[in-house]
Amino acid sequence: MKKNRKRILIIIASIFAGCALTIIVIIGHELYEIQADAEQAFTKQKSYFRQSSFSGKIIKRYPYQLMIKYDSTAILPPMGHQFFYDYYFFEPDDSTVLINVPESIYKITELNDSIIKEKGSDSLRINQHTYRLLSAKRLEWLPRVK
């Protein structure tokens, strides 16, 4: 009788362990898909921003963010991709863009500085000097300071 109880307990414990392992595998797969989707969205938004083009003047400065009033020749990302919190936000109604910038760019800028972002470029031209804005690494937005 005791042997049967032990066998039954071992069988029940094995079933529970198998169910737990199955759940862990399913959750792991879902988390992998979520991570892959997030990485794809990140690289897509970075690409949309890279393909944008604008020139204008700095109208506001926030810590590590610049608000730029751009002119009418701006090439904006397609509708639905004109913002990517916490990196950029285009406001077509006001002709402004708010972008995150590295500390190095933030420190050298002042209100009314001239800014040019060319299509396909990872850099900003500020008062005739070029500064890298986007990281060359796929899953990194701003370049890291060495």
Q: Distances from the Cα of 49 to the Cαs of 24, 40, 85, 127, in angstroms?
A: 37, 14, 12, 21
How far apart, in whole angstroms, are the C-alpha atoms of residue 140 and residue 23?
A: 32
- Looking at the structure of the chain, the number of domains it has is 1
Query: Which of the four pLDDT bands, split at 50, 70 and 90, describes residue 138?
Result: confident
Q: Distances from the Cα of 116 to the Cαs of 7, 57, 75, 97, 124, in angstroms?
A: 75, 9, 12, 12, 6
Instruction: Report the helix count and the strand count for the chain, using DSSP H and E.
Output: 2, 8
How far apart, in whole angstroms, are the C-alpha atoms of residue 126 and residue 11?
A: 71
Q: What is the predicted pLDDT for the residue at 1? A: 63
Question: What does pTM read for this prediction?
Answer: 0.73
pLDDT, tens only, 55-111? 999 999 999 999 999 998 888 888 777 878 778 999 888 899 999 998 889 999 999
Structural domain for 43, as ranges: 1-146
Q: What is the predicted pLDDT for the residue at 115? A: 94
Q: What is the predicted pLDDT for the residue at 97? A: 93
